[in-house]
Structure formats: C-alpha cells, structure tokens
Structure 1
Amino acid sequence: MAGGTQPPGPDDAETFVRALYEDAAGPLFGYVLRLTGDRARAEEVVQETLVRAWRRAEHLDATSDTLRAWLFTTARHLVTDLWRRDAARPSTVADERALAAAPAADELDRAVERWTVADALARLTPEHRAVLVETYYEGRSVAQAAQRLGVPPGTVKSRTYYALRALRLVLEEMGVAQ
C-alpha cells in the first residue's frame, strides 16, 4: 500500500493485514517468544501488533522494507509495556512446582499449633513438662518414662494427669483452649 491520499477501504485494509500476517507473523512470533518466554503472551503481542498495523494501514507502505522494522519495533514496545506492567504489580505464582512447594494451609496451621504448644509447655513446671515430653512426644510407655525420669510408674501417671490439667489452664490463659 503506497502512502496514497485516500485511506484504504475495509477490504483493502483486510487484504493488507492478511498479506502482512502471511509474510511476517511467523518471524514476529518467534522474535516475541524469545523476548517473553511465554507462548500465550507472544501470541497476544503479535495479535496486538497486527491490530495496530491494521489501524495504521493507510500510513504504512506494504512495499517498503521499513514495514517489517515497524512491526518488530512495535512488538518490542508492547513487550516492554508488559514488563513494566508486571513490575508494577505484585508477582503471582503461576508455576505448579512453586505452588506445590509452598506450604499448605494445613502445614501452616500445624506449625502455629506446635509453636503454641511449645510456648505452653515452657510455662509448666520442669517435672510436668518432662513427663508430657516423655509420654506424648517421645511416645514412651508409663514404665519407660518412669525408668528414664527415675521415678515410680505411679508418679508418672499422677504427674501426667496434673500436667495435662496444668497445660489446659495455660492454654486457656493464652486464649487457645476453652
């Protein structure tokens, strides 16, 4: 399309863009794909570049070598705009591996529970804390806990009972238990 005085009609602009697409869309897509690294974004940029060419069809010379340069420059500007837009927004996680590596809400809840229980245990007497650690966290039987703590099995049982009551009171004071 030589830069004539009359703007192209709808058929002329459509013919222009079709020819442009057949001639330049492949190399333009490859160029934009290398810039973005994302097929969907590359397709989006190529589409927008061709729309802009269609809008400016009366000003662009289809026979000129500068047309391809205009297309690639326009595509580069669109990619730069995408980069700037992305930099201005908080990043989102789109990678499935990154999402899988992120701790789940259940894991976070368990971590908070562990910290809360550890804080509550720290507020107990050393004897109560020791018996709960032996029986609940270490998974030892009453006899094994008695042997490790150097006390009779009956003492382990009664300390466990009172330690659980004390732990419940501490958790209530912390606003965790009711």
Structure 2
Amino acid sequence: MWLVRRQLDTRFERLDPEDDPDRDDRLIRELYQEFGGPLLRQVRQTTGNDLQWAEDVVQETLLRAWRNAAKLTWERGLLWAWLLTVSRRIVIDGRRRRGVRPREVEPPEADSIAVPDAADRTLAAIVVADALRGLSPDHREVIEQTYLRDRTVSEAAEILGIPPGTVKSRLYYALRALRGVLKERGVAN
C-alpha cells in the first residue's frame, strides 16, 4: 500500500488541475482510504471515545489536508504527523468551545411541561378547612387568628380577650389536634 501511495503522491504532484478535473476527488478519496481509519482510532482516544465527535474531527482534519494539498509534503510519515497535530488542535479547540458555551439541551415535549394551576392549592385548602371543622371552637379560633389572619400571639390574645400564654397553649394543642385529624384522613404522615 505504501508503494502504491508513493506512486500516487508523485502522480498528484505532477498533475495539473486543468489536465485532470477529477484530481481533487481522487485526492480526498485517497486521504480517507489511507488515513481515515487509523486517524479515527487515534482521535477517538482523545475525544473520550465520542464516536460522533471523533468522526467530525477526522472529517475536518482531512478537509484541511485537502485544502492545503499544495503546501503539504506528501511523504507518508510527515503527512501522518501533520494530520495528528491538526486533529489534536481541533479537539483542543472543541473542548475550549464546549467549556465556554453552555450545553445545548433539547426543549421538553409540550405534553410534559407542567402548567401551574391553583388545583393543588385549592385542594389543600379544602382538606385543611374540612379538618379545621373537626377541631374545638377554641382551637379553631386560635389557628384562624394566628395562621389564617397572620396575627402575632399578642394581637390574637387581644382580639380573643385571653392572655398570650393561653393563646400559645391553645395553638400548640390545636396544631397537634389538626395533625391528628389530617393523619386520620391519610393526608399527613
């Protein structure tokens, strides 16, 4: 194969583009046949075995060799070294680009997007309101004043006409009772 390659190298050097319009096609075909497989194996190691990325790198490397065909030395060892260097630089540039740019993510399917609505909140309010009906009136009043009307213990004590300590005590037992009622209904754990 190397002898055939050497003959092709000298033939490519002698060909004038006007003499052979298929010169470019044959050159790129020869590059792929000679170096495509070994270069792909080498590049896969540097890309972390990412086949798609490695194939892109090989394609870009051989394309650059084709573009620079007039400047290259067509000796097999030198050409192989040049291809390895170019492919390594393409991988490095790709890693730098990936590090700077955020990863591209496919948008989710329209069916899987959760649309916020008030159903959960409404359902929870209904369950808690129903559970509150199961409490004593004293406990229900304390929870209503502190949690539902967002008042402090002192404000609730003044409105209810009881000492703040009593509000705290009733609130403690009211919350315990509310948890018990919700647990019975299988809502709380």
TM-score by length of 2: 0.52
Matched residue type, 1:134? G
* Counterpart Cα distance in 2 of 1:74 and 1:83: 14
Aligned to 1:134: 180
Q: Give 1:19 deviation, angstroms.
A: 1.1
Does residue 32 (structure 1) correspond to residue 43 (structure 2)? The answer is yes
Paired position in structure 1 for 2:6: none
Task: Quote the offset at 1:132 in angstroms.
Answer: 2.2
SS at structure 2 position matched to 1:90: coil
Once residues 78 and 104 of structure 2 are traced to their aligned partners in structure 1, the CA distance between those partners, rounded to angstroms, is 38
**Higher alpha-carbon Rg:** 2
Residue aligned with 1:59, SS? coil
Alignment check: 8 A CA contact 1:7 1:58 kept: no
CA shift in 2, pair 1:14/1:62, >3 Å: farther
TM-score, normalising length from structure 1? 0.55
- Residues 22 and 4 (structure 1), Cα distance of their counterparts in 2 relative to 1, 3 Å cut: closer
Contact 1:16 1:62 in 2 (8 A): no
Question: Quick one: percent identity of the two aligned structures?
Answer: 35
Which has the higher mean CA deviation after the structures are superposed, 60-69 or 123-132?
123-132
Matches within 5 A, 1:13-92: 13-36=24-47, 37-91=49-103
Of structures 1 and 2, the one with the larger relative CO (CA 8 A, separation 6+) is 1
Q: RMSD value over aligned CA atoms? A: 3.8
5+ residue gaps, structure 1: 95-103, 142-178
| Residues 1:15 and 1:86: Cα distance change in structure 2 (over 3 Å) | same
| 1:73-112 map, 5 Å | 73-91=85-103
**Partner secondary structure for residue 184 of structure 2:** coil
The letter for the 2-side match of 1:53 is A
1:93: how far off?
A: 6.7
Where in structure 2 are there 5+ consecutive unaligned residues? Answer: 1-8, 107-111, 126-142, 148-170
Question: Residue 139 of structure 1 aligns to which amino acid in structure 2?
Answer: E
- Distance in 1 of aligned mates of 2:55 and 2:70: 24
Cα distance in 2 for partners of 1:40, 1:140 equals 55
